[in-house]
Structure 1
Amino acid sequence: MTVMSVTLVSVALPDIGRDLPANATDLQWIVDGYIIVYASLLVACGVAGDRFGRKGVFIVGIALFATGSLVAGLAPSIAPLLIGRVIQGLGPAIVIPGSVTIIRALFDDPRQRALALGLWSTGSGVAMAVGPAVGGAIVDAVGWRWVFLINVPLGIVMLLVSIRYIPKLGRSSVRARFDWTGVALTTVGIACLAFAIIEGQDHGWTSPLILTAFVVGAAAMAAFILVERQITEPLINLDLFRRPSFTASNVAGFVVFFVYIGIIVYFSVFLQQVAGYSAIAAGLGVSSLGLAFAVVGPLAGFLVGRLGAHWPLTIGLVIIGCATLTLLRLTPDTGIAGLWWMLAIFGFGIGLSLTPMTAISISAVDAEHAGMASAVLNAVRQIGQVLGVAVFGVFAYGHLSTTTTTGHVFSHADGAAFVSGLRVALLISGIAVLVTAALGVVLFRRDRPDRANESTPDLAHQEQRHG
């Protein structure tokens, strides 16, 4: 439910923009408002489950997600909808790390635990794959509001099932204090930077408001680094980044999800507002990416278990970079028939890279830091999504006419401008992915062979557990 909520909403954006009404900036915030909360609170919420009880905190997360969905679905204007999305974002921040810790606590046998985590990963992969198609079907059948409202009855069912079937689990014996300063600084930093990038077109890049947002965001992130180095129980142990492999896997996670969310969101908009497809047709067209990702995931786990993680990750990044550059063939007249196979190749690279990315991140650090390493990688991925939506939007919407009505099919001139801007974003992204692949090869070689090439079958089975 929480993973699908990003891709599910992407195909509903044109209808939301037309009905409320909402401009292009508002539509970007519908996606980013959710991901910002999710990314900035992920690590802290994982600690909350260990301290206050995993079952109780997990149930609270489900309740918040359902409540936010209700607020967004009933919103009479864009402001309440954005508030609902922020409340919704608390759900995955709590539920995703909580669900993994519950699985780890319930299964003592390593093989059973690996199987359970594999099923968890499959659920995430399927959700990402079918999200656009399901969202399109809902929008065409009953309207965009049910993209949010469908989570309410599902959430109630999940609450009842969780109360009934999840046993009461003991709290962690470790009583680390909350690093509220770190949480506040990362939240302010990520939100200000995203605000500056998204709002820069409307207010002007040199306006006092945008410059202030950039300065405050950068200062908050710099202060976070300084504070985390001084305290004894940091939110993120920055010493983890001393390992070249750990750094490489996190850079890869940031770049891959930056490109992934940009393509999902703005190709959904392209197919509806430029190519003129219905919501369900656009969802099915974009879903070729997610389906390829879901199919390749198990293969990636097998390759990591047999060959190690570094080469599958490098090959996956090269495929992603080349597929992104292949999408430069996009024109205003491109249809689903000419697009689906390029998106499928992109999804193939995504599926191939996620498992080794997780395996490298965890195996590059000591066992006691494995949980934090996993949480950091997931948070970095979500930050990549936040900035991906913002930056792709800057290029895609940057040259549309001021009279363009968001939610309706673009004029020929605006369609060409949208595609032109999107192609610039794709060019920059494709080059960035290929540079990341080369950087990874260099950093992997700098690590000691006995640690850098570690990858156990158990790690391989955990393939996309935070994806």
Structure 2
Amino acid sequence: MVSVALPQIGTRLSASPTGLQWVVDAYVLVYAALLVPGGTLGDRLGRKRTYLAGVLIFGAGALTCALASNLPVLLAGRALQGVGPALLVPGSLTIVRSLFHDERRRAHAIGLWSTASGLAMAVGPALGGVIVAQWGWRTVFWINVPLAAVLATTAWYAVPDVPGTGRQSGERDGDARRTGLLADLDIPGAVLITAGLAASTYATVVGQSAGWGSAVFFVSTSITVLAVGLFVRRERRHREPLVDLNLFLRRDFLAANLAGLAVFFAFVGAIVYFSIYFQHVRHQGPIAAGLSVAAIGAAFAVAAPISGRLTHRFGPLPPLTGGLLLAAAAFLSLTPIGAHSGMVLIIARFVALGAGVGLALTPMTQIAVQAVPDGRAGMASAVHNALRQQGQVFGVAVLGAIVYAHQDYLTGFRIALLTSGLVLLAAAITTLLLPTRRPRPASGRSRHQ
């Protein structure tokens, strides 16, 4: 919804195009940078408590944005909002994993968790267009304040305690041990990975605006390489590493995370420019453009829970590889798109694209979080979500550079669609790294649950 509100924000707060870009990027940068520490905090402090903290921080950030009288206050609110999902996103996924021990029910639950993303994509742009047109840009932030209150209240009463690794027998979720719950937390490692992810995100953002050969891009990239290199060196030696790097030696974990990076690069990056295509090339209004793009999210929302059932029955490889191939084919079939292309054919390809990503997202998510014991599930979830978020940032920037490298928008847009299709095709090939397994029949208890 925020992206739809940007033109009105620019008018009301006298924001420059660069300032409007940071309305989006301030949130993305903080969110991406804090995901790994946020997931590890959930492992240590308890998932329910961390989830609740994330929801409340997100609500506080939304309130700050809704009350902002100038751009700096709005950007501060957006940065505060970014802290929230860094805590609640990995926390929510690990809660789902902890609550469902039966493999069939867990796969279905992760499918429903993934469906939420599709519903947001389907409803967000169209709803945002209506809200901004009727009640103004502040409403897209006000709406999150009561939502956060409802989520926090519901979670407090409905979600059982999902303890972290620091929980002693008899202690409540998140209670500190006598020796200090965070005494052995790798604080320097958290600082290094946060700096590395923040610098990587910043380099991508400024590279798009200031230029890929600019000094600020070079400095940010250098900081990224230095921070990540020091982080890897430290984690290999630390007794309680923030991220267990040995996980990346597992074929399933590596393939799932590479697929997540590729999917969000191609999928989310392209959606941004689909919206621009409908408004600037086909001259549709924001509501009509939002409804057109919503076909992708609607198909995604239908396919994701189906993928959970397929994953349980056939294993993760068929729906993951099949979904990636379907999405790649949809992108490649869209490359001849023009100003007067038939909407029926475009929507049909959008449905195939959304269904393909919906089929792939559930098995890749399940593989990533099931590669570790319960005590490190938050870490695995955070790593997976951090790579997906980096893929999104890179996708918007790199595909944008491709689009705007040509004077004719359609020419650049077609090359960007081709790039997205090839990236997803490469991701499908990486799934060949995944070990196959025979599906296990559900127990009698499972069939009646």
Question: TM-score, structure 2 length as denominator?
Answer: 0.84
Contact 1:40 1:183 in 2 (8 A): no
Match of 2:327 in 1: 320
Match of 1:293 in 2: 300
Taking the aligned partners of 1:157 and 1:15, their CA distance within structure 2 comes to 28
Say whether 1:453 aligns with 2:440.
Answer: no
Say whether 1:360 aligns with 2:367.
Answer: yes
Worse-matched range after superposition: 86-95 or 14-23: 14-23
Equivalence map 1:266-415=2 (5 Å): 266-334=273-341, 336-337=343-344, 339-364=346-371, 370-398=377-405
Deviation (angstroms), 1:150: 0.9
Say whether 1:139 aligns with 2:132.
Answer: yes
Worse-matched range after superposition: 307-316 or 364-373: 364-373
How has the CA–CA distance of structure 1 residues 214 and 277 changed in structure 2, closer, same or farther, with 3 Å as cutoff? same
Deviation (angstroms), 1:328: 1.6
**Which of 189, 200, 204 matches 2:207?**
200
Taking the aligned partners of 2:409 and 2:11, their CA distance within structure 1 comes to 18
How has the CA–CA distance of structure 1 residues 397 and 360 changed in structure 2, closer, same or farther, with 3 Å as cutoff? same
Deviation (angstroms), 1:125: 3.7
Deviation (angstroms), 1:107: 6.6
2:73 maps to a residue whose letter is P
Worse-matched range after superposition: 323-332 or 14-23: 14-23
1:92 maps to a residue whose letter is P
**Which of 429, 441, 446 matches 1:438?**
429
Match of 1:429 in 2: 420
Equivalence map 1:216-295=2 (5 Å): 216-295=223-302
**Which of 86, 91, 108 matches 1:93?**
86
How has the CA–CA distance of structure 1 residues 114 and 430 changed in structure 2, closer, same or farther, with 3 Å as cutoff? closer
CA deviation string 1:16-60 (max 9, x = no partner): 345444455444433333233223322322332343344443332
Identity across the alignment (%): 46
Task: Report the aligned-residue RMSD.
Answer: 3.0
Contact 1:10 1:264 in 2 (8 A): no
Match of 2:149 in 1: 156
How has the CA–CA distance of structure 1 residues 321 and 15 changed in structure 2, closer, same or farther, with 3 Å as cutoff? farther
Contact 1:54 1:102 in 2 (8 A): yes
Contact 1:139 1:280 in 2 (8 A): no
Question: TM-score, structure 1 length as denominator?
Answer: 0.81
Match of 2:174 in 1: none
Deviation (angstroms), 1:102: 4.4
Match of 2:57 in 1: 64
In structure 2, the gaps of 5 or more residues are 168-180, 443-449
SS at match of 2:38: helix
Taking the aligned partners of 1:369 and 1:169, their CA distance within structure 2 comes to 13
Aligned residue pairs, count: 428
How has the CA–CA distance of structure 1 residues 106 and 171 changed in structure 2, closer, same or farther, with 3 Å as cutoff? same
Taking the aligned partners of 2:375 and 2:42, their CA distance within structure 1 comes to 17
Deviation (angstroms), 1:124: 4.2
Contact 1:25 1:199 in 2 (8 A): no
Equivalence map 1:13-32=2 (5 Å): 13-32=6-25
Contact 1:271 1:277 in 2 (8 A): yes
CA deviation string 1:282-306 (max 9, x = no partner): 1111110011111111221222222
Deviation (angstroms), 1:83: 2.0
SS at match of 2:74: helix
How has the CA–CA distance of structure 1 residues 113 and 148 changed in structure 2, closer, same or farther, with 3 Å as cutoff? same
Equivalence map 1:70-81=2 (5 Å): 70-81=63-74
How has the CA–CA distance of structure 1 residues 14 and 328 changed in structure 2, closer, same or farther, with 3 Å as cutoff? farther
